[in-house]
Amino acid sequence: MKNILIYIKERFPILPALIYCVLFILTIFDFFQNYNPINIFLLTVSLFLFLFSIRLQDEIKDYQYDNQKHRERPLQRGIISLEAIKNLLLITIIIQVSIQAVFFFEYFRIFLIIAFYNLMIFKEFFIKKFLDNHIFIYLISHQFIFFLIIYYFMQIASHKNLEFNRTAVLFSISLFFVPLLWEIGRKIKHRYSSNNAPTDDTYVYYLGRKKAFAFLILLFIAQTLLILSYKQQYTFPLALYFGAIISIIAVYLQKPKPIYNQSPNWSAGLSLFSLIVMLS
């Protein structure tokens, strides 16, 4: 158990993930003015377990790569075994399936589609070499699952009364940007192998620092405009959010290194704050 806790602390910090899941689910239920506490709790747990299962899947999928490039990670250091990772993944899958089958069976077909798509991600759609050579196709193909998850949660929150009008579409896209920005933000800083060479599992490796930063900032601005479009009002939290983005740009233009070095932290923080903006 101690080794599992060490692994979780390093590879899947519980508190940020839990805050993320709570805000994500509350945002969806608030949009439909549905405040069913049981469903909110169950879907928060489901999302948390799903994110944890993705982390575990990546450990299995990237095992050989990490053995070469990231020997400092817990699995590579022998803190936890690959067999233990597989067992944890199996447990999370069983719990996820049980929750959906028992409490949300009428939506189970959507869940199965999500599960199938997740399996395709795990298998890299059987075109791993192609995806490795086309970074943006890789990004979209892997992040698209969050559109399916958002649709699934919106169906439950709306009691199958989901109408994809202009507001709902803009809301769902705004929400999709949250995991997208989190994913890009944690990979715009170089990672280094044991021999101190930059690894090719980041966006900055392919785009360079300036382009990677510009790409991330443009996405944050796009999300701001999306939120403004569906809310149709410029709220104080939205003003703070946009002000924070402008401040980051201003500091970057003067002192780019501190902004670059802290990019995983401020991008994650802004992603979480965007959910608060959507809730306000």
The domain spanning residue 99 has which CATH number? 1.10.357
Between CA 40 and CA 246 the distance in angstroms is 34
Q: Is pLDDT of 108 > 90?
A: yes
At which of 162, 189, 208 does a domain end?
A: 162
The set of long-range contacts for 50-53, using a CB threshold of 8 Å and a minimum separation of 24, is 50/96, 50/149, 51/12, 51/17, 51/20, 51/21, 52/12, 52/17, 52/92, 53/89, 53/92, 53/93, 53/96, 53/118
**Could you tell me if 16 and 114 lie in one domain?**
yes
**Could you tell me if 215 and 148 lie in one domain?**
no
pTM of the full predicted structure?
A: 0.94
pLDDT number for residue 114: 97
Q: How far is Cα of residue 175 from the mean position of the Cα atoms in its chain?
A: 11
CA dihedral 254, 258, 263, 266 (to 10 degrees): -90
Q: Is pLDDT of 178 > 90?
A: yes
pLDDT number for residue 274: 96
Domain total in the chain: 2
> What's the whole-number mean pLDDT along residues 25-47?
96
Structural domain including 251 reads 164-280
Enclosing H/E stretch for 12: none
Residue 7 identity (one-letter amino acid): Y
Enumerate the β-bridge partners of residue 192.
198
- The pLDDT tens digits for 17-35 are 999 999 999 999 999 999 9
pLDDT bucket at 190, cuts 50 / 70 / 90: confident
% of the chain beyond a pLDDT of 90: 81
pLDDT number for residue 193: 84
> What's the whole-number mean pLDDT along residues 153-160?
93
Q: How many CA atoms lie within 13 A of 32 on its CB side?
A: 23
**Could you tell me if 100 and 212 lie in one domain?**
no
pLDDT number for residue 161: 82
> What's the whole-number mean pLDDT along residues 104-127?
95
**Could you tell me if 121 and 52 lie in one domain?**
yes
**Could you tell me if 68 and 156 lie in one domain?**
yes
Give me Rg for the CA atoms of the chain: 19
**Could you tell me if 169 and 146 lie in one domain?**
no
Mean pLDDT of the chain: 93
